[in-house]
Amino acid sequence: MEFHPADVVISLINVTVLFILLRLILWKHVIRLLAGREKRVKEELEQAEQRCLEAEALHCEYNDQLGQLEERGREIVRESQLKAVEESDRILTETQDKASELIRDAHTRIDMEKEQAFKDAQLEVTLLATDMAAKILKREVSSADSANVVDGFFR
């Protein structure tokens, strides 16, 4: 294979003419295509940045709401504890009042039963005293006499 300088010059001229023709015909389309692609890439980057900012804003809002919910939860727990304490105090007070009332009722019943037992004993003593007096005196004693004897006995 021989090397001819004319072939090299013709090839260089062909490449140069082809380059100039391609530049005139395709260059604007390629530049427009690349510019459009660059524009889309920039828009997508701006959208991604905007979405990132929105995501950060949503994250901050989420954290704020989460903090508010946690505080509200603690407040609900505190309120529930206070209500439970109040309810237990109320129940305890009611129970103590009922117990006091039952004790008063028991004391009242005891006093009434003591009084009734005293009256029953007094009546029994009166009957016994009347029987004894009747046997002693061999006569019938009136109830007024018995009552005087019993009153004198208990005094």
pLDDT tens digit at each of 155 positions of the chain: 677 888 889 999 999 999 899 888 888 888 899 999 999 999 999 999 999 999 999 999 999 999 999 999 999 999 999 999 999 999 999 999 999 999 999 999 999 999 999 888 888 888 887 777 777 765 555 677 667 766 776 66
Tell me if 68 is assigned to some domain.
Answer: yes
Tell me if 151 is assigned to some domain.
Answer: no
| Four-CA torsion 49, 54, 60, 61, nearest 10 degrees | 180
Tell me if 46 is assigned to some domain.
Answer: yes
Q: How many CB atoms lie within 10 A of CB 130?
A: 19
Instruction: Report how many domains make up the chain.
Output: 1
Q: Do the beta carbons of residue 153 and residue 127 sit within 8 Å?
A: no
Per the structure, the complete domain to which residue 102 belongs is given by 5-109
Report how far residue 154's alpha carbon sits from residue 145's, in angstroms, rounded to the nearest whole number.
14
Tell me if 26 is assigned to some domain.
Answer: yes
Predicted pLDDT of residue 144: 72
Tell me if 122 is assigned to some domain.
Answer: no
Tell me if 83 is assigned to some domain.
Answer: yes
Predicted pLDDT of residue 92: 94
Tell me if 74 is assigned to some domain.
Answer: yes
Runs of H (alpha helix) within the chain: 5-137, 143-154
Report how far residue 98's alpha carbon sits from residue 85's, in angstroms, rounded to the nearest whole number.
20
Query: Two tokens at 56?
Result: 């950060």
Q: How many CB atoms lie within 10 A of CB 129?
A: 18
Tell me if 38 is assigned to some domain.
Answer: yes
Full-model pTM: 0.43
Predicted pLDDT of residue 88: 93
Predicted pLDDT of residue 142: 65
Predicted pLDDT of residue 140: 57
**DSSP at 138:** T
- Residue bearing tokens 């995501």: 55
Predicted pLDDT of residue 138: 56
Predicted pLDDT of residue 124: 84
